[in-house]
Amino acid sequence: MKIVTYNVNGLRQRVAQFGSLPKLLNSFDADLICLQETKLRRQELTADLAIADGYESFFSCTRTSDKGRTGYSGVATFCRVKSAISSVEVALPIAAEEGFTGLLACSRKDEAASVAEGLEEFSREELLKVDGEGRCIITDHGHFVLFNLYGPRAGDGDADRILFKLNFFKVLEKRWESLLQQGRRILVVGDLNIAPCAIDRCDAGPDFEKNQFRTWFRSMLVESGGRFFDVFRAKNPNRKDAFTCWPSNTGAEQFNYGTRIDHILSAGPCLHEEHDVEGHNLVTCHVKECDILTEYKRWKPGNTPRWNGGWSTKLEGSDHAPVYTFLVDIPDVSEHSTPPLAARYLPMVHGLQQTLVSVLMRRQAAKQVKSHVVSGSFSDGSTIISGGCSHGVKRSMANSDVPGIDMSCCSSDLDSENPTLNVGGRSEDISEESARNTTIAFHKEHVSSLPNKVTRKKARKSQQLSLRSFFQKSPNLDNDIDNSATDISTSQACVLNSNNPSQEAPVMDDCRCSAMQNETNEISSSQGQEELDCGCSPKKNDTNGTVYSQGQEERDGSCYLEKLKNNDALLEWQRIQQLMQNSIPLCKGHREPCVSRVVKKPGPTFGHRFYVCARAEGPSSNPEANCGYFRWASMKCRAK
């Protein structure tokens, strides 16, 4: 049986890197794959991220939003099985539990949720706090209990996170002790965010091992009288430079300048009948090998060095490397099925698996709703008003956008003999006689030039403006304004003056309406042509030949000034770029341009910029590595 632990630094990113979830999982060729830092919220667990053929998966996601962070941790365990029902495979767990306190196994509203055995001394609030960040999944495989862990990170000056980390491992240790007292075997895998010894850190100083978390870690090991084996060190006791994590912003992977914080621990007797014999334990009897899968590192031999143009090259992969172990002589277990915690039973995943019948029924229902809406709009929102024109105008009053008339207040009842027209909040009865003396004419061109609000919003959202467009004058702007003004004046001549209902509106026949419309279109088109001519070509006069209008001269002057401004802006930007290039210092070790960085750690220098050597971080004995040059970008920061 092969077990792999891997901090993926975002499951969605790793799936995209490999093309699909099955390809990512199959690349390990392992029976149990434990992933940390999935960065997924519960509602983001879709089938493409949680379900893969031949695997059963179990997830734990962040349940809190401390400091505004959501989806920043999370763990997942994938079990490769041949059958999810009535299986005797060890890889398929007999039971599964989210978290390690026992409180997440039940609903949050269930006040009767039982605390895990051995944790009775802690309050319910303390347990929910340490177990609320989605950092543990427990799967019981019969012969052993597997803990998939993502240990919290705590900076030196962050007192709150240091306290949280202490409580996290304190509660966890109590849970382990309880299981060991019951005679269970335990495997702990994952990113614990602890490098136990100086050999596990590239730049370990003399006080490195005095850290309280490293002291606690070593106290758990057999060498210090504890119950756990560090499986990697048990198989590779003296290997140096065996690291699993590298800083992603310094290029430290190139010189293997990192730390070992991804671990596989084991505790408990072996599976043999004579397991009480001295020297018999889970590691000695069943662990064949344990190593680091360095082929998953982001930086690979042959990549362009970062200081020779490689900074622009995006390195795919996590800042961690997987660790694996291979177990032997593990017998089958009794027949069992997939535990209910599996991702296949989650509503957000199970709901995405639709049948063909449900899809067809949903489409049929959508068509029925659409037909009902269309028929309802004609029966409730359409109005026919006849007058002097030979053809009546039929349109939806609710969807029209006519100046001077509030169409939201208009209504009509086709079943009644005298329709009612509500104008400005007043209700007017339109009799047959008054309808003859009243005409509301809608020009086809005018209606088409007034899109509804929804269309205008969609058009506004679909326009992708460039920076250059803000500095260019559209030649069609004046033309559009003139056309719209002409259309409005034309429509005002044909639209009923609703503010004075006692005044009789003029009646126009079809000939006058069409003649006025044609005349208006000719005027607007001629004006638009003049505007276009002024923008790009000289205006031709039948009597005086080619002349320039006053407006054309003004536009030529504005275009010239605009070109001067653009040239000045371009020259200024080039000057700034050259100044910035000249202000970048050269590192003293290699005489190469430095790279700028910004302080992100809270403190008096937060947000300030500084320069460092551009080369990848590495051991000081290597002349090709970072020389350690540092300089503040501002003299004020240097004074501090």
Higher pLDDT, 41 or 250: 41
Radius of gyration of the chain (CA): 38
Residue 248: pLDDT band by 50, 70, 90 thresholds? confident
| φ and ψ at residue 167, rounded to 5 degrees | -65, -35
**CA atoms of 417 and 87, how far apart (whole Å):** 77
**CB 97: neighbour CB atoms within 10 A?**
22
Q: Find where tokens 């709150």 sit.
A: 160
Residues in contact with 418: Cβ distance below 8 Å, sequence separation at least 6, in sequence order: 429, 430, 431, 432
Inter-CA distances, 18 with 8, 41, 115, 244, Å: 12, 21, 40, 20
**Which tokens belong to 163?**
């306290």
Residue 533: pLDDT band by 50, 70, 90 thresholds? very low
**CA atoms of 382 and 359, how far apart (whole Å):** 34
Residue 353 has pLDDT above 80, yes or no: no
Residue 2: pLDDT band by 50, 70, 90 thresholds? very high
DSSP-derived letter for residue 201 is B
pLDDT at 189: 98
Higher pLDDT, 580 or 144: 144
> Of 334, 283, 365, whose CA–CA distance to 86 is shortest?
334
Listed range (253-262, 316-325, 441-450, 604-613) with the worst mean pLDDT: 441-450
CA 476 to chain centre: 40
CB distance 190 to 147 below 8 Å? yes
CB distance 247 to 609 below 8 Å? no
| φ and ψ at residue 297, rounded to 5 degrees | -65, 150
Summarize the confidence of residues 269-296 as an average pLDDT: 87
**CB 327: neighbour CB atoms within 10 A?**
24
pTM (2 decimals)? 0.64
Give the 3-state DSSP-derived string for 60-83, with helices as H, strands as E and coil as C: ECCCCCHHHCCCCCCEEEEEECCC
Residue 543 has pLDDT above 50, yes or no: no
As a residue count, the chain comes to 640
pLDDT at 626: 85
pLDDT at 304: 64
Higher pLDDT, 151 or 637: 151
pLDDT at 581: 57
Digit-coded pLDDT (tens) for 511-530: 443 444 444 444 444 444 44
Q: In one letter, which amino acid is 173?
A: E
pLDDT at 197: 95
Residues in contact with 400: Cβ distance below 8 Å, sequence separation at least 6, in sequence order: 407, 442, 447
pLDDT at 538: 43
Listed range (563-567, 576-580, 601-605) with the worst mean pLDDT: 576-580
**CA atoms of 450 and 402, how far apart (whole Å):** 8
**CB 523: neighbour CB atoms within 10 A?**
15
Known catalytic residues are 320
Summarize the confidence of residues 532-557 as an average pLDDT: 52
Digit-coded pLDDT (tens) for 142-197: 999 999 999 999 988 889 999 999 999 999 999 999 999 999 999 999 999 999 99
**CA atoms of 397 and 611, how far apart (whole Å):** 66
**CA atoms of 339 and 196, how far apart (whole Å):** 35
**Which tokens belong to 206?**
């003399």
**CB 342: neighbour CB atoms within 10 A?**
21
How far separated are the first and last CA of the chain, in Å rounded?
A: 57
pLDDT at 555: 67
Listed range (254-263, 336-345, 376-385) with the worst mean pLDDT: 376-385
Give the 3-state DSSP-derived string for 509-545, with helices as H, strands as E and coil as C: CHHHHHHHHHHHHHHHHHHHHHHHHHHHCCEEECCCE
**Which tokens belong to 493?**
């001549």
Residue 349: pLDDT band by 50, 70, 90 thresholds? confident
Higher pLDDT, 291 or 535: 291
**CA atoms of 266 and 57, how far apart (whole Å):** 22
CB distance 331 to 13 below 8 Å? no
Residues in contact with 365: Cβ distance below 8 Å, sequence separation at least 6, in sequence order: none
**Which tokens belong to 486?**
């002409």
**CA atoms of 488 and 478, how far apart (whole Å):** 15
**CA atoms of 66 and 164, how far apart (whole Å):** 12
pLDDT at 493: 43
Q: What percent of the chain has pLDDT over 90?
A: 41
CB distance 333 to 94 below 8 Å? yes
Higher pLDDT, 544 or 156: 156
CB distance 187 to 33 below 8 Å? no
pLDDT at 105: 66
**CA atoms of 412 and 378, how far apart (whole Å):** 11
pLDDT at 72: 83
Listed range (146-150, 230-234, 263-267, 614-618) with the worst mean pLDDT: 614-618
Residue 237 has pLDDT above 90, yes or no: yes
Residue 10: pLDDT band by 50, 70, 90 thresholds? very high
Higher pLDDT, 312 or 450: 312
Average pLDDT over the chain reads 75
Residue 274: pLDDT band by 50, 70, 90 thresholds? confident
Digit-coded pLDDT (tens) for 99-132: 999 998 643 344 456 899 999 999 999 999 999 9
Summarize the confidence of residues 358-377 as an average pLDDT: 68
Report helix angle 212-219 to 159-181, nearest 10: 10
Q: In one letter, which amino acid is 464?
A: Q
**Which tokens belong to 319?**
């800042």
Digit-coded pLDDT (tens) for 309-326: 555 567 789 999 999 999
**CB 120: neighbour CB atoms within 10 A?**
10
Residue 584 has pLDDT above 60, yes or no: yes
Q: In one letter, which amino acid is 286?
A: H
Higher pLDDT, 417 or 626: 626
Residue 500: pLDDT band by 50, 70, 90 thresholds? very low
**CA atoms of 419 and 428, how far apart (whole Å):** 9
